[in-house]
Chains A and B, each alone.
Chain A
Amino acid sequence: AQKITQTQPGMFVQEKEAVTLDCTYDTSDPSYGLFWYKQPSSGEMIFLIYQGSYDQQNATEGRYSLNFQKARKSANLVISASQLGDSAMYFCAMRRASGTYKYIFGTGTRLKVLA
């Protein structure tokens, strides 16, 4: 079955430190997209970063970068210089081109940034 796995239900990081949130996925499709979303306590879903399966370079967006290891089927999110406002739930997601369960999300990782 196609699925997304986030093995860290909760994590702590000290302010200004970097943190890595893990995401592994399982698909036999050659073409897919990987996404990370942030969900603060207010509930909105905020798009952070995207990585395509054919992209040669790891995606970066400001303090966010995606450590994409295609052979290992992992797409870990790295947040550099953590800020208190980064405290939130983080979801990894995958979009596939065809078949059922084309659009799936992981169970999330709750990140708490400590002052």
Chain B
Amino acid sequence: GAGVSQSPSNKVTEKGKDVELRCDPISGHTALYWYRQSLGQGLEFLIYFQGNSAPDKSGLPSDRFSAERTGGSVSTLTIQRTQQEDSAVYLCASSLDDSIFEYWHFGDGTRLSIL
């Protein structure tokens, strides 16, 4: 596809369940980012992947959050034992590389609602 693809677009689950969010970046983009946006708020950095380098996990809010990127392409963000405060829109973005000149191409996000 031409853009960053995220699935599902919406996810409703019960508190305590695990969820997996998927991101398919633009082909050829080596850098991939996950952000979280709570209702009406700014973007909170979660994690960043660049090529085969170790990911920058400095933004993950707790050890319930993890992410992986397989084959340098698709990424999954996993939230274990979900809590109501995890409700937010999770945005994935990619860029050609991690230079300061490259802008983020964002997906449409996954809206996660924890009941």
Does the CB pair A52–B101 fall under 8 Å? yes
Q: Quick one: which of A33, A100, A107 contacts B42, CB cutoff 8 A?
A: A107
Complex Cα gap A108–B41 (Å):
7
Q: How far is the CA of A53 from the CA of B35 in the complex (A)?
A: 24
The reply on B106 being an interface residue by CB < 8 A is yes
Closest to A33 in B: B100
Closest Cβ neighbor of B33 among chain A residues: A103
- Selected from A43, A91, A97, the residue in CB contact (under 8 A) with B89 is A43
Q: How far is the CB of B18 from chain A (nearest CB, A)?
A: 25
Tell me whether A107 and B41 are in contact (CB under 8 A): yes
B56: Cβ under 8 A from any A Cβ: yes
Interface positions of B from 49 to 106, Cβ below 8 Å from A: 56, 58-59, 89, 91, 93, 98-106
Within 8 A of B (CB), among A78-96: 91, 93, 95-96
Please tell me the number of chain B residues within 8 Å of chain A, measured between CB atoms: 24
**Interface of B (DSSP majority class):** loop
Contact B56 A105 (CB under 8 A): no
Measured in the bound complex, the distance between the Cα atoms of B104 and A93 in whole Å is 10
A47, CB-defined interface residue at 8 Å = yes
Q: Interface size on A (CB < 8 Å)?
A: 26
A45 to B98, CA, bound (A): 19
Are A97 and B42 neighbours in the complex by a CB distance under 8 Å? no
CA distance A46 to B89 in the complex (A): 16
Q: Closest B-chain residue to A50, C-beta based?
A: B103
Please tell me if A102 contacts chain B, counting CB pairs below 8 Å: yes
A64 at the interface (CB under 8 A from B): no
Residue of B nearest to A53 (CB): B100
Q: Which residues of B contact A (CB under 8 A)?
A: 33, 35, 41-43, 45, 48, 56, 58-59, 89, 91, 93, 98-106, 108-109
Q: Which residues of A contact B (CB under 8 A)?
A: 31-33, 35, 37, 43-45, 47, 50, 52-53, 91, 93, 95-97, 100-108
15 contacts between A and B (CB under 8 A): A33-B100, A33-B101, A35-B103, A35-B104, A45-B93, A45-B106, A93-B43, A95-B100, A97-B99, A97-B100, A100-B58, A101-B45, A102-B98, A103-B104, A108-B42
